[in-house]
């Protein structure tokens, strides 16, 4: 499940992508991303350390994307904020390790399904950029306006 931290990061970055190179103050970005300002500032600091955003201090300061929106994928942002996309460490490409409760990787009955889930998730998120999200709107995504299924 995507954390609140990753959701706030993605929302803020999409807002920056919509600015097409322009700057947005932390206050405006917090409002537009519907995120608590102090929490968002900590997230932006983390993203700044990775070169995903740039910050400028002072009276005319604010945040902007550190690279082109087309080159920043949802997968990259989620990995920075939440860590690996994999549901279990034994199928992670970036943080592989044997699961603590697994006696044998080769005979694990869960691993194949988890590998497929990781690959499918990665395929979607690695191919979806901030530029794609900036162009899209909630009206274009039918399930966004429907109540959640129980």
What is the Cα–Cα distance from 92 to 145, expressed in whole angstroms? 33
The residue ranges of the chain whose pLDDT is under 50 are: 138-145, 150
The per-residue pLDDT for 103 is 82
Provide the 3-class DSSP secondary structure of residue 56: strand
What is the Cα–Cα distance from 83 to 68, expressed in whole angstroms? 22
Beta strands of 35-86 (E only): which ranges?
53-56, 62-65
Provide the 3-class DSSP secondary structure of residue 54: strand
CA distances from 103 to 90, 110, 116, 117 (A): 12, 12, 21, 22
**With the C-alpha atoms ordered 41, 29, 19, 59, is the resulting torsion angle positive or negative?**
negative
The per-residue pLDDT for 141 is 42
What is the Cα–Cα distance from 67 to 71, expressed in whole angstroms? 7
The per-residue pLDDT for 40 is 96
CB 69 within 8 A of CB 131: yes
What is the Cα–Cα distance from 92 to 48, expressed in whole angstroms? 25
Model pTM? 0.83
The per-residue pLDDT for 144 is 42
**With the C-alpha atoms ordered 4, 7, 11, 12, is the resulting torsion angle positive or negative?**
positive
The per-residue pLDDT for 105 is 81
């Amino acid at each position: 499940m995507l954390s609140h931290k990753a959701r706030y990061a993605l929302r803020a970055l999409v807002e920056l992508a919509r600015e097409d190179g322009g700057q947005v103050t932390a206050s405006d970005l917090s409002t537009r991303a519907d995120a608590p300002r102090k929490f968002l500032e900590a997230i932006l600091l983390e993203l700044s350390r990775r070169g995903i955003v740039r910050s400028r201090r002072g009276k005319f300061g604010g945040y902007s994307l550190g690279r082109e929106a087309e080159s920043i994928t949802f997968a990259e942002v989620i990995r920075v904020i939440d860590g690996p996309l994999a549901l279990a460490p034994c199928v992670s490409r970036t943080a592989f390790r044997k699961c603590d409760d697994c006696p044998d990787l080769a005979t694990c009955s869960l691993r194949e399904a988890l590998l497929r889930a990781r690959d499918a998730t990665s395929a979607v998120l690695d191919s979806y950029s901030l530029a794609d999200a900036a162009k899209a709107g909630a009206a274009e995504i039918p399930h966004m306006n429907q109540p959640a299924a129980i």
